[in-house]
């Protein structure tokens, strides 16, 4: 996979991608990431990439020509069929399903903005898609681009040490993760759940799935709304709710409908 990133801060992007799972994936040649700096595609002595907004107001706007040339240069390093994706607060919310889609492409170009954003004609003429990473304000698109690249790289075959762990992750199966414990067995007066040290691997797997379902129900009921419930999952969740005295669910259904948007916020795990 060949990924291009158009950014005014290539050092920032490179530094982040040099470490951890991403660094290893890139070192192994599973993917390549190239950066293109729009300043290298400016034509004036000041290497200008931004200008004041028509109509007035604060901040600066990224100019069409240097950005368009930078995007064209980045696209030339990416195979045919690669998409051009702008990172923008106005974009579609990035999620694991989009990460999965992108991981099946031969490559793509991410365009990170700074200042107030891009001249609108860049979006119109050159964007196949716009993505946001969430409803909060970043200083630019780089951190968002890094989130996208990280989420995609770790899905590529060979990127992770343990081939099964991507599928087992939070969101890999549409649920939050179960709790994890390590030594010592008792710390700060708190014990590890007995099942985890009992050696019954079927019981451990069942407990973990039950915890994942229960925590998702409590913390992220929205994730259960469209769920394709697997065999035995609803019974496991019933069991969790009974064990936590949550049988009075105030009319809330398993799938998060019924009152999720009407009721008081639920407890965040006792």
- The residues annotated with a catalytic role in the active site are 89, 116, 154, 169
Residue with Cβ nearer ligand 9D3 (53 or 258): 53
Please, what's the b/e burial string for 78-88 (b: 16 or more CB within 10 A of its CB; e: otherwise)?
beeebbbbbbb
Q: Is 132 in the site for ligand 9D3 (CB under 6 A)?
A: yes
3-state DSSP assignment of residue 107: strand
112 neighbors 87 (Cβ within 8 angstroms): yes
67 neighbors 84 (Cβ within 8 angstroms): no
Query: Who's near 139: CB < 8 A, 6+ residues apart?
Result: 114
The piece of 39-47, 65-73, 138-146, 187-195 that touches ligand 9D3 (CB under 6 A) is: 138-146
Q: Give the closest residue to 79 by CA, choosing from 108, 102, 99.
A: 108
Residue with Cβ nearer ligand 9D3 (78 or 144): 144
Out of 140, 172, 174, 258, which residue is the one contacting ligand 9D3 (CB under 6 A)?
A: 140
Out of 85, 133, 146, 153, which residue is the one contacting ligand 9D3 (CB under 6 A)?
A: 133
What CA–CA distance (Å, rounded) separates 183 from 137? 39
The piece of 135-143, 222-230, 241-249, 255-263 that touches ligand 9D3 (CB under 6 A) is: 135-143
Q: Is the dihedral of CA 220, 93, 137, 87 positive or negative?
A: positive
Out of 16, 74, 87, 99, which residue is the one contacting ligand 9D3 (CB under 6 A)?
A: 87
The piece of 136-144, 159-167, 187-195, 203-211 that touches ligand 9D3 (CB under 6 A) is: 136-144
Residue 95: CB minimum distance to ligand 9D3, A = 12
Q: Is 60 in the site for ligand 9D3 (CB under 6 A)?
A: no
Count CA atoms closer than 13 A to 95's CA, side-chain side: 8
Out of 66, 82, 107, 141, which residue is the one contacting ligand 9D3 (CB under 6 A)?
A: 141
Site residues, ligand 9D3 (CB under 6 A): 87-89, 113, 116-117, 132-134, 136-138, 140-141, 144
């Amino acid at each position: 996979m060949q990924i291009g990133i158009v950014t005014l801060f290539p050092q920032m992007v490179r530094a982040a991608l040099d470490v951890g799972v991403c660094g290893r994936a890139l070192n192994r040649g599973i993917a390549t990431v190239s950066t293109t700096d729009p300043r290298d595609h400016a034509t004036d002595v000041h290497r200008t990439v931004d200008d004041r907004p028509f109509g007035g107001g604060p901040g600066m706007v990224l100019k069409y020509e240097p950005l368009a040339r930078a995007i064209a240069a980045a696209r030339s390093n990416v195979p045919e069929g690669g998409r051009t994706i702008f990172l923008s607060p106005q974009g579609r919310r990035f999620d694991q399903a989009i990460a999965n889609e992108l991981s099946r492409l031969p490559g793509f170009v991410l365009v990170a903005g700074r200042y107030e954003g891009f001249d609108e004609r860049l979006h119109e003429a050159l964007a196949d898609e716009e993505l946001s990473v969430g409803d909060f304000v970043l200083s630019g698109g780089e951190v968002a681009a890094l989130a996208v690249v990280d989420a995609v790289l770790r899905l590529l075959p060979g990127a992770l040490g343990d081939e099964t762990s991507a599928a087992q992750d939070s969101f890999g199966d549409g649920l939050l993760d179960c709790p994890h414990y390590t030594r010592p067995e008792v710390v700060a007066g708190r014990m590890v759940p007995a099942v985890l040290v009992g050696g019954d691997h079927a019981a451990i797997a069942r407990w973990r799935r039950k915890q994942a379902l229960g925590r998702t129900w409590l913390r992220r009921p929205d994730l259960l709304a469209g769920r394709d419930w697997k065999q035995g999952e609803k019974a496991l969740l019933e069991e969790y709710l009974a064990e936590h005295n949550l049988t009075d669910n105030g009319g809330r259904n398993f799938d998060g409908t019924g009152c999720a948007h009407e009721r008081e916020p639920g407890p965040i795990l006792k």
